[in-house]
Amino acid sequence: MTADLILHNARALTMDPVRPRAQSVAIGADRILACGDDAVVLALAGPQTRLIDCRGATLLPGFVESHLHLFSGAYGQTLLQLAGVRGIDALGQAVAAFAAANPEAALLFGQGADYTLLGEGHRLDRHALDRVCRDRPLALMAYDFHTLFANTAALRAAGLLHGRSLPPGNQVVMGPDGLATGELREKLALMPVLELRDIGGREMLGMSGLEPPVPPSVADRAEDLRVLRLGLAHAARHGITSMHNMDGNRYLLELLDCLRQNGTLSARVKVPFHLTPEMPLSNLDRASAMARDFDGPMLTSGLVKMFLDGVIESGTAALLDDYTNRPGHRGETLFTPDHFRTAVIEADRRGLQIAVHAIGDAAVRLALDSYAAAAVVNGPRDRRHRIEHAEVVHPDDLHRFAALGVIASMQPPHAPTGCNGTTDGIGPARAPHAYAWRDLVDAGAEYAFSSDWPIAPLSPLSGIQAAMTRQGWLPDLPDQRLTLHEVLEAYTRRGAHAGFHEGLTGRLITGLKADLTLLDGDIEAVEPESIGAMQVVLTIFDGNIAHARRIPRSAATRCAHPSRRPTPHEP
Ligand SMILES: [Zn+2]
């Protein structure tokens, strides 16, 4: 059999324990035909075969990004970007420029706001936001998407100025004047403001398991497809060929299926059904229908996503003991324990995979307890239920991940690098058990890594660097760093396993789909501190080139000195 494409002279890390290294990969149609030494693989070349000389650079299975939000991440690229904006003057200038450029926008919307954007001790409240913009609705999303800050005009337009009573865990923060301060905590509090936007909040509906209330117009669908293509192209530039979207609805699956039929879907995408505490469990019928209707090699569902708690910074993560910076406060789970256990058992009975956002050690424990209960009630099977984030894990629970076959789905870029609101809440007693990647791996847990884009930049190479170079924020914390090979596995083979795709992708072996990522140098020769600055020069998805830039002449030597890398050229 003749190959369509052969990548040769590579340092291929196959993620296959039987043959971990190779020089060359041959591709025929959408499959890997062969993987091995140049001499053997190049024998598959015919007159029509395209040859790519990798010049000694690292060739990997296409990256699997195991937790991201494609629709909101892609949409976010069109918004006011607040990362790095500090102080009221800088904020005022950024908002004024954005407002002038978007004169028709119903809501001026920024993302990536730091909780301390105005400086320590200065609250981001409606009074501060009114100073930068009084006459038009303005809202700024915190970088973690758990808090939204709105000005008075936005609060009034959303009907929140006089407060609103909401289910536990969601809060319109009220001031001493009896009016909302402008700080809106968690999804149900911030949705009324998001609905003011021109996109109508369609990219956020999947976070609540909702479908568009009225069928989107042809123009709206075209705009949504345009936004999704932006996001997919961004992912391809970062070498991503598989992604587990962590919010979802049928509308998103239908949009992605449209791209698949056009031949423009450039990654395998898993889309869950999102079950909220407010929904009767009969809504899981919708999850089962999505699992049945979307079960191909490119587009799958079969996953139920739930939020069990919030985040440490805002005190909404559920901890077993008091927050160190808020005595008497432990946070609470968004589902009651009985309700959550019942929901898990029912989703599990349907044969669905479950992914639960659990950040605090109380939420992690309740998730593990509920997964254990489901296994008792429904009997043994290959479940691969997941805990998303698992940022604080009680040491007694570390071994339970492996015992229960639960996947720790974690985000290396999220670990704090210095003392801040997160670390103040965790405190010194829990700090050794926070972001405990090494402890979980050593306890035998299955694990997968990701960015949670748009919460962190969508860059597996940055994630690899973060996981290899992590430093504790207090002296003498245990070393939680992982080795290059452990981290690469999380972004390839183990990520594919977490998505039930190990028979399709995640390794470079004969017969799997041709999903590959070529870097601009030898990742094993680059200092860990410089891996995030490496570039993806080629992304191949399903046998087709999804992203390409010119391969440096002597890739391996150049990348040992990343500061001397020339500006890459687009082909
Ligand atoms: Zn997420």
For residue range 207-262, list pLDDT tens digits in order: 888 999 889 999 889 989 999 999 999 999 999 999 999 999 999 999 999 999 99
Please give the pLDDT value at position 551: 65
Please give the pLDDT value at position 571: 29
Query: What's the gap in Å between 164 CA and the centre of ligand 1?
Result: 26
CA 483 to chain centre: 21
Lowest mean pLDDT among 75-89, 124-138, 356-370, 391-405: 75-89
Query: What's the gap in Å between 220 CA and the centre of ligand 1?
Result: 25
Query: What's the gap in Å between 246 CA and the centre of ligand 1?
Result: 6
Query: What's the gap in Å between 505 CA and the centre of ligand 1?
Result: 23
Query: What's the gap in Å between 455 CA and the centre of ligand 1?
Result: 8
Query: What's the gap in Å between 551 CA and the centre of ligand 1?
Result: 33
Alpha helices in 324-360 (DSSP H): 337-349
- CB-side neighbour CA atoms (13 Å) of 448: 32
| Residue 555 confidence (pLDDT) above 90 | no
| Residue 552 confidence (pLDDT) above 80 | no
Please give the pLDDT value at position 449: 98
| Residue 521 confidence (pLDDT) above 50 | yes
Q: Name which residue leads in pLDDT, 455 or 334.
A: 334
Query: What's the gap in Å between 559 CA and the centre of ligand 1?
Result: 32
Q: In the structure encoding, which two tokens stand for residue 377, read together?
A: 């009630």
Alpha helices in 137-217 (DSSP H): 152-157, 187-194
Q: What is the mean pLDDT of residues 375-404?
A: 97
52 near 4, Cβ under 8 Å?
Answer: no
| Residue 559 confidence (pLDDT) above 70 | no
Query: What's the gap in Å between 59 CA and the centre of ligand 1?
Result: 28
Query: What's the gap in Å between 111 CA and the centre of ligand 1?
Result: 15
Query: What's the gap in Å between 310 CA and the centre of ligand 1?
Result: 11
Please give the pLDDT value at position 553: 62
Q: What is the mean pLDDT of residues 428-440?
A: 95
Q: What is the mean pLDDT of residues 169-181?
A: 95
| Residue 570 confidence (pLDDT) above 60 | no
Please give the pLDDT value at position 554: 54
Please give the pLDDT value at position 418: 77
Backbone angles phi, psi at 446, to 5 degrees: -70, 145
Query: What's the gap in Å between 338 CA and the centre of ligand 1?
Result: 24
Query: What's the gap in Å between 207 CA and the centre of ligand 1?
Result: 9
Query: What's the gap in Å between 514 CA and the centre of ligand 1?
Result: 28
Q: Using the 8-state DSSP alphabet, how is residue 295 labeled?
A: B
Query: What's the gap in Å between 512 CA and the centre of ligand 1?
Result: 29
Secondary structure of residue 13 in the 3-state scheme: strand
Query: What's the gap in Å between 69 CA and the centre of ligand 1?
Result: 6
Enter the pTM of the model: 0.85
| Residue 349 confidence (pLDDT) above 70 | yes
Q: Which amino acid is at 237?
A: R
| Residue 569 confidence (pLDDT) above 60 | no
Q: Using the 8-state DSSP alphabet, how is residue 513 labeled?
A: B
Starting at the edge strand that comes first in sequence, how are the strands of the sheet with 536-541 ordered? 21-22, 11-13, 58-61, 516-519, 536-541, 544-548
Query: What's the gap in Å between 250 CA and the centre of ligand 1?
Result: 18
Scanning the structure block, which residue is given the tokens 């229960």? Answer: 404
| Residue 166 confidence (pLDDT) above 90 | yes
Residues paired with 482 in a beta bridge? none
Query: What's the gap in Å between 224 CA and the centre of ligand 1?
Result: 20
Query: What's the gap in Å between 570 CA and the centre of ligand 1?
Result: 31
Query: What's the gap in Å between 359 CA and the centre of ligand 1?
Result: 11
Q: What is the mean pLDDT of residues 423-444?
A: 94
163 near 174, Cβ under 8 Å?
Answer: yes
| Residue 563 confidence (pLDDT) above 70 | no
d(Cα 19, Cα 17) in Å, to the nearest integer? 6
Q: What is the mean pLDDT of residues 467-480?
A: 92
Q: What is the mean pLDDT of residues 411-425?
A: 86
Mean pLDDT rounded to a whole number for the chain:
93
List Cα–Cα distances, 94 to 88, 120, 132, 479, in angstroms: 10, 20, 9, 40
Q: Name which residue leads in pLDDT, 440 or 114.
A: 440
| Residue 23 confidence (pLDDT) above 50 | yes
Query: What's the gap in Å between 66 CA and the centre of ligand 1?
Result: 10
Query: What's the gap in Å between 388 CA and the centre of ligand 1?
Result: 8
Please give the pLDDT value at position 60: 98
